[in-house]
Amino acid sequence: MAYLFTSESVSEGHPDKVADQISDALIDNFLAFDKDSKVACETLVTTGQVILAGEVKSHTYLDVQKIARDTINKIGYTKGEYMFDGNSCGVLSAIHEQSDDINRGVDRATKEQQGAGDQGMMFGYATNETENFMPLALDLSHRILIELAELRRENKDITYLRPDSKSQVTIEYSDDNIPQRIDAIVVSTQHDDFADDDTMLAKIRKDIVDILIPRVVAKLPENLQTLFNSDIKYHINPTGKFVIGGPHGDTGLTGRKIIVDTYGGKGAHGGGAFSGKDPSKVDRSAAYATRHIAKNLVAAGVADEVLVQVSYAIGVVEPMGIFINTYGTCPFNMTDGEIAEIVSKVFDMRPFAIEERLKLRAPIYSETAAYGHMGRKNETVTKTFSQPYGETITLDVELFTWEKLDYVDKVKAAFSL
């Protein structure tokens, strides 16, 4: 019997994502001027207020208030009527030095023997149901909000949009796990006030269905375009009015959207958040590394769907173990345990090896903090950073290195494919 599966996404203007983006902007600035910085930054945003807290060990000094304000303005909170804007909000910093007790478990005489920054388990997942090896419901949810943000910035076809929004997509699958159709789409978007509530709701619904969705569909491959039809159930701003939003409507915190950040509920999640953490924290780096493994395994033909788990003890260099689940989709006669044994020989999962392989000690994290950390485009961009006393640095950095299919040949060789 067919079944339904749902995933959601939230926009860059969602309060939790505002917090994530501020935390990761701080990470990028610290790494730009001191690539060995150890940082764990948390952000809270609410009406007219930003609170920064966390632990840092770095040789650089930053104007954290300016970084927070610039991030907020870039997102689009630039008007006093939002009750939260980058130019006028208060910014309180309670950032202090990293605990020596934690640091001693990470630093070693040689970087190759660097211990894990924390204990825990991390998961990576990949499926061949989309071109970027991501679950379809989450991929479409992200695409809807990315396009909605484009419409907001263009301020042409839809002129009343505000930064906060959410989306949700429900997919119908066949018994053999093949997407059949889109059952329902939910979009809730913050908007300017209207004189008449009924007119407002009708216009927003029409604009989402007639302007936003066709733009999303036009950018999809043909096989996914066919999933859209006139039978889709649309729920557009189902509560009605959504004028009060962003950090004024809900307090935002770093690390509260971990399922949006990963696989939309498919596969698994170890529980650790990503944003605000430098790559010595395996919550982040090992989650990227396991995604890299899963994606390359699926692309190499080891399975149609793969879940990878790795676990660590704080201060210990070698992982506790690697677990593989192919959900019965491996086309050749090999157990998941046998696959895991080969994977552990192909991919070095020591923390420093992960940092080196994926180039994680670069300022690459601001781009991860909205619309998902996985399934994104691997590309090289130029970024410029400034310190309070006038020093400016421009760097070419490679984004989303964990999305590269650079280990496919190695995987094929290891599995004799």
Is 281 annotated to bind a ligand? Reply is yes
Q: Based on the number of CB atoms within 10 Å of its own CB, is 382 exposed (0-12), middle (13-18) or buried (19 or more)?
A: exposed
Nearest to 188 by CA among 44, 42, 11, 36: 11
Maximal CA-CA distance, the chain: 68
Annotated binding residue at 131? Answer: no
274 assigned to a ligand binding site: no
Nearest partner of 137 among 33, 255, 267, judged by Cα: 267
- Report CA 58 to chain centroid distance, whole Å: 25
The answer on whether 12 is annotated among ligand-binding residues is no
Instruction: Give the Cα separation of 415 and 5 in Å (integer).
Output: 32
415 marked ligand binding residue: no
Would you give the DSSP letter of residue 170? E
User: What Rg do the C-alpha atoms of the chain give, in angstroms?
Assistant: 22
User: Is 241 annotated for ligand binding?
Assistant: yes
Distances (CA, A) of 287 to 168, 174, 353: 24, 30, 14
Indicate the DSSP class of residue 154.
H
CA dihedral 11, 17, 23, 24 (to 10 degrees): -30
> Does the annotation list 141 as a binding residue?
no
| Residue 164, annotated as binding a ligand | yes
Q: What is the SS3 assignment for 293-315?
A: HHHHHHHHCCCCEEEEEEEECEC
Flag whether 38 is marked binding: no
Residue 295 is labelled as binding a ligand: no
Say what angle helices 282-300 and 336-346 make with each other, to 10 degrees.
110
Q: Is 277 annotated as a binding residue?
A: yes
Each as own residue / partner, the long-range contacts of residues 68-72 (CB below 8 Å, 24 or more positions apart, any chain) are 68/22, 68/25, 68/26, 68/43, 70/25, 71/18, 71/21, 71/22, 71/25, 71/366, 72/18, 72/22
367 is in an annotated binding site: no
Left (φ > 0), alpha (ψ -120 to 50) or beta: where does 83 sit?
Answer: left
- Annotated binding-site positions for L-methionine: 55, 98, 250, 281
- Annotated binding-site positions: 14, 16, 42, 55, 98, 164-166, 241-242, 250, 256-257, 273, 277, 281
- Annotated binding-site positions for Mg(2+): 16
- Annotated binding-site positions for K(+): 42
- Annotated binding-site positions for ATP: 14, 164-166, 241-242, 250, 256-257, 273, 277
